[in-house]
Amino acid sequence: MAAVSHNQDALADKFDVKELSGAAQADANERNSTVWEAWRTHKKAVLWSMALSGALIMEGYDVTVVGSFYGHPAFLRRFGVPTTGNDIGYAIPAPWQSGLSNGASAGGIIGLFINGWAADRYGPKIVMGASTIMLTLTIFLLVFGDSLGMLVAGQVLCGIPWGVFQTLTVGYAAEVCPIQLRGYLTAYVNMCWGIGILLSSGIVKATLVIPTDLSWRLPFVLQWIWVIPLFSIVYFCPPSPWWMVRKGRHDDAAAAVRRLTNPKYFSEEDVQNSVAMMIHTTEMEAQNQHGTSYLQCFRGFDLRRSEIAMMAFTMQILSGQSLCGQGIQFLQQAGISTDLSFSLNMVLNSMFIIGTATSWVLMGFFGRRTLYTSGMACMCITLMTIGGLAFYPSNEVKMAMGSLLIILNFIYNCTIGPATYTIIGEISSTRLRQKTIVLARASYKAINIVAGILNPRMLSPLAWNLGPKTGLVWGSTAFLSLIYCLLRLPEAKGRSYGELDILFENRIPAWKFKTTKADQFGMVRRGEAVEEDGKLAQEVAHVEGDRK
C-alpha cells in the first residue's frame, strides 16, 4: 500500500530542527515500545486513568437499578398496576418504564453538550468536580421520591453529571496513555460500567427480602458512598497535557507529563520531546481545522470522523444489547420465576467484567475493526436464535433463551462494548476530541431513548407482549449494523494521532487503514532536515494517497 504523509512546509516556520526531531523521536519511541515498557514508564498515567474511570461505576449502577425495579416486588407493589403477566401481580405501565429508562438519557444529553463547551473552556478537572457536587445533591430526589414523576425528575437531573463523566473519562484515558496501552484503558471504561451493574444487581437481589419501601430506596442511598472518593480522585489527578497544549500552556503540559510518567525511565529530554510531539500534532490539525466548535465536527474530513464515532456508539444499541438492560423483565416474560430471574440477572451482568477482561486478550491479537465487526455478526446470529426459539415454548427452551441472553451479553462485552470506547477515543482529532465524544455519546443517548420506548412495549404484557420474539427485531438492526461496519469502520490499532490525521486527510478507505503507511514527520524521521539561512528547510515525501 502506498504511503501518505503530511505537507510539512506550512509548519516549517513554527519549529526548529531540534524541536521537530524531538517530536519525531517521541512519536517513534511511543509506537515502538512494548506493552511492558509502556506500563513501566506510564504506570502512574494508567492508575490515574483507571481511578477516574471509576466515575462510570455510579452510572452503570443506577441504570441497572432502575431496570431491575421493573421486576422488583416492593417497587411494583408501590408504583405498579394490577396484571396477570407475572407472578408478582403488578407491573409498571410501559409509558412510565420509558420515562424512567429515558430520564437519565435525556439528562445525559444535556450534560454531554454542557461538557463539550465547559471542558474546553475551564478544563476537565473543574467540570468533573462541579459535576460530582451536583450529583451529590440530585441523588436526594431518588432517595426520597414518593411518586414515579419524582423518580423520573431525579433520573433526568442525575443524568446531567453522568453525561459529563461519560465524555471526560474516555477522553482522559485516550490522552494520558501511550499507544500500546490506549486500547486497554479506554476499554476499561466498559468494565467500570460492568462493575456498577454487577454491584447493583447484587444489592437489589439482597434487598428483595425487605418488605418495606426501604427495599428499593436503599440501593439509591448507597450511591452516596462513591461521592467523596470520586471527588478526591478528581481533585488530585494530573490534568491532561494535551488540554494544556491546546491552551498554549506548554510548561504546565510538561509538568503534567512528569506527574504521569516514571522519571527512572522517562528523562527530562523525553518529557520535552513528548510535549513537542503534542504541539506538532495540534498545529498540524490546526492547518486543516478552522476553529473547534461543534460545527467544525461536520466540516471536511472531520465529518467522516464524527460519523464513525457517532455510529460506533449508536450501534451499541442497534446490536440488541439493550435487551440485557431489561434482563429481569425479559427473563420473566420468557416464563422464568422472579427469584431465578434475579439470580440469572447477576450472572448476566457479570459478563460485563468477564467479557471486558477477555477483550483485553483479544485486543492483543486483533484490531478494533475486526473485534467490533465479528462481535456484531455474532450478536446478530444469537438474537435471531433467541427470537426463533420463542415460537417453541417449553421449560427447556426457556432456560436455553436465558442462557443465550447471557451469551449475548458476553459477546457484546468482549467485542462491541469495550471496542466502542477505544474507537471513539482514537478516531477523533485531538482538537475536537471532547466535542466528537459528546456527539457520539449524544447519538447513543438519542437511540437509547428510542430503545427505551420500544423495549418496554415489546416486552410488557400490558403492551405489545412480544416477549423473547423481540430478538428478531434487534437481530435485524444488528445485521444492518454489520454491513455498515464492513464498509465504513476503519482500523486505528497502533496508530498515533498524527498518523490518523494523515489517513483521514488523504481519505483512505476504511478497509485500507490497516495497510496504508502514514508519516506525519516526513523525511525528518530519517534525519534529513537541514537549516538554511536561519530558516528550517526540510525534504518531505509527497506520495499520492489512494483516494479510491
pLDDT of residue 330: 67
Q: How confident is residue 262, by pLDDT bands cut at 50, 70 and 90?
A: very high
Q: How confident is residue 203, by pLDDT bands cut at 50, 70 and 90?
A: confident
Q: How confident is residue 289, by pLDDT bands cut at 50, 70 and 90?
A: low
39-50 mean pLDDT: 92
Amino acid at 39: W
Residue with cell 483485553: 360
pLDDT of residue 293: 77
pLDDT of residue 10: 52
Q: Name all contacts of 202-211 with Cβ < 8 Å and 24+ positions apart.
A: 202/346, 203/65, 204/64, 204/65, 204/68, 204/69, 204/72, 204/342, 205/342, 205/343, 205/345, 205/346, 207/74, 208/72, 208/73, 208/74, 208/339, 208/342, 210/74, 211/74
More confident call, 263 vs 529 = 263
**435, pLDDT greater than 90:** no
Mind listing the domains of the chain with CATH numbers? 3-241+274-500 (1.20.1250.20)
More confident call, 274 vs 59 = 274
Q: How confident is residue 526, by pLDDT bands cut at 50, 70 and 90?
A: very low
**How far is residue 200's CA from residue 61's CA, in Å, rounded to a whole number?**
5
Of 282, 285, 258, 287, nearest in space to 272 by CA: 258
pLDDT of residue 540: 33
Of 400, 371, 329, 449, nearest in space to 190 by CA: 371
Ranges 7-11, 374-378, 499-503, most confident: 374-378
**529, pLDDT greater than 60:** no
- The answer to whether the pTM exceeds 0.85 is no
More confident call, 236 vs 460 = 236
Neighbours of 479 (CB within 10 A): 17
pLDDT of residue 3: 58
**What digits encode the pLDDT tens for the residues 357-409?**
899 889 888 889 999 999 999 999 999 998 888 888 777 777 787 788 888 88
Of 477, 485, 488, nearest in space to 318 by CA: 477
pLDDT of residue 162: 85
**What digits encode the pLDDT tens for the residues 59-110?**
778 777 877 777 778 888 888 887 765 566 777 887 888 788 778 878 888 8
275-280 mean pLDDT: 87
Q: What are phi and psi of 465, to 5 degrees?
A: 55, 45
